[in-house]
Amino acid sequence: PIKQAQSFTNTRKFEKIDLPPVIDFEGGSLAKVKSKRKSVEQVQADLLTCLKEVEKITGRKPMIYTNGGTGNVYLNKPEFADYPLWVANYPRDMKTKNPEMPGAWKGTKWLFWQKSQSYKIGTTTNDFDKFNGTISELKAFIEGK
């Protein structure tokens, strides 16, 4: 996890005007190599080590990007709720007002929500992500206030 954090933070310099670093934590990559599978407890420990190292290197608390299924299995320890969450939760109806929160964030207010990975605007298909707040609150979040 230390080498992963160092590799991640060496890819770019994080400026004060950027969102904090985002750790994309998805279950599919954990199951790819059966011979190298780790226990849930080991994955949790490694992820927490990585998150702390990214914060130490960048001086910014990283966010976690995940979905409910992965979050409910791997991110159910209270320590994970110390990190901002960007939740991928694709409702059947785009009018849905709130995502289902995974693991440690259940019952908390959501911050970032990826509502769709295939949202169309005209002929362009893209993700549909929302911030739960005003532009001033987003600026304050980015500035770490």
* Residues forming the active site: 26
Strands (E), 5-111: 22-24, 63-67, 85-88
CA distance between the termini of the chain: 28
Task: Report residue 71: phi and psi, to 5°.
Answer: -60, -40
Locate 43 and state its tokens: 């994955």
Q: Cα dist. 25→48, 64, 145 in Å? A: 12, 7, 25
- Which residue from 45, 71, 60, 46 is spatially nearest to 9, judged by alpha carbons? 60
Q: Could you say which DSSP state residue 88 is in?
A: E
